[in-house]
């Protein structure tokens, strides 16, 4: 059911018992009111060119940490489902989007409760001195028509390095433009030792099988634009993914995406 309340649109989600088990975990999203401008995640997106952003995010998921030159790590509370146009809009200074659609999302509730995440306080020059020193890590300059980034809905945690290696992967989601880029980030290649036993003579022949397994949960912007219109649907979709599951079928699908992105002649030249 969708109803209008003031200027905000509210959607009431009703889940079956099976959905509750799938979409719950840390969140109790069953039978709650969910606003379309709300997300169960805090996202960290990457700047630079598309290739640069992908390289940075690859390093982030490999090292399981975020690093800042300042004394805080920044996130956005904006629902990723509302950012499709944002990722397609170039800024004049660089000719690139302000942020690329390569990012990583963390459970908002866990970030608040365990890591002290708080929303940024937007202030004019004359207001910052009124903010207690213990809270100034949360402040951001706001000058309308000159320096106004309030639309980013920024949140922060007061550290220069965020190690998320101890956070359950069930509360993390990787975001990428399409399935091809996403699988490059969330799929892990392994060699599994499966020896072949000759039961007639007892000999054991060494045998190694290739395995492609899910290392991270992830959603592509393509999937969001086609089927997921709220971040709580993103959450439910992510919760349906199992860490360690076989990803061969997904890789076959992503190869088709890869072929559509690159000219056949370019692929042949690289072989």
Within 10 A of 179 (CB to CB), how many other CB atoms are there? 21
Q: What is the pLDDT along the chain (271 residues), one digit of tens a residue?
A: 333 333 444 333 444 444 433 344 444 444 455 666 889 999 999 999 999 999 999 999 999 999 999 889 999 999 999 999 999 999 888 889 999 999 999 999 999 999 999 999 988 888 888 888 889 899 888 888 777 788 899 999 999 999 999 999 999 999 999 999 999 999 998 756 566 777 777 777 776 567 899 999 999 999 999 999 999 999 999 999 999 999 999 988 887 777 777 664 454 455 5
Within 10 A of 234 (CB to CB), how many other CB atoms are there? 23
Task: Decide: 26 and 156 in contact? Cβ < 8 Å.
Answer: no
Domain boundaries, given as residue ranges, for the chain: 2-116+158-270
165: β partners: none
Within 10 A of 50 (CB to CB), how many other CB atoms are there? 15
> pTM, whole model, 2 decimals?
0.78
Task: Decide: 134 and 146 in contact? Cβ < 8 Å.
Answer: no
Closest-CA residue to 221 (of 95, 92, 99): 99
Closest-CA residue to 40 (of 88, 107, 122): 107
């Amino acid at each position: 059911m969708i109803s209008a309340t003031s200027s905000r649109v509210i959607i009431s989600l009703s889940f079956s018992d099976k959905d509750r088990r799938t979409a719950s975990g840390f969140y109790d999203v069953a039978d709650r009111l969910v606003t379309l401008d709300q997300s169960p995640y805090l996202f960290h997106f990457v700047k630079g060119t598309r290739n640069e952003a992908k390289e940075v995010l690859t390093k982030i998921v490999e090292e399981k940490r975020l690093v800042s030159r300042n004394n805080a790590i920044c996130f956005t509370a904006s629902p990723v489902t509302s950012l499709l146009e944002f990722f397609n809009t170039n800024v004049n200074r660089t000719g690139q989007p302000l942020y690329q659609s390569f990012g990583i999302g963390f459970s908002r509730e866990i970030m608040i409760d365990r890591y002290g995440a708080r929303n940024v306080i937007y202030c004019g020059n004359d207001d910052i001195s009124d903010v207690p020193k213990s809270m100034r890590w949360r402040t951001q300059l706001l000058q309308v028509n000159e320096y106004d980034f309030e639309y980013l809905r920024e949140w922060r945690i007061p550290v220069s390095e965020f190690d998320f290696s101890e956070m359950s992967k069930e509360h993390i989601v990787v975001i990428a433009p399409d399935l091809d880029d996403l699988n490059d980030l969330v799929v892990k290649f392994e060699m599994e030792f499966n020896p072949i036993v000759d039961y007639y003579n007892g000999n054991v022949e060494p045998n190694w099988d290739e395995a492609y397994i899910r290392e991270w949960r992830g959603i592509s912007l393509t999937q969001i634009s086609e089927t997921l219109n709220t971040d709580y649907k993103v959450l439910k979709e992510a919760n349906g993914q199992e860490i360690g599951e076989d990803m061969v079928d997904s890789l076959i699908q992503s190869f088709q995406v890869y072929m559509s992105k690159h000219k056949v002649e370019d692929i042949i030249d690289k072989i």
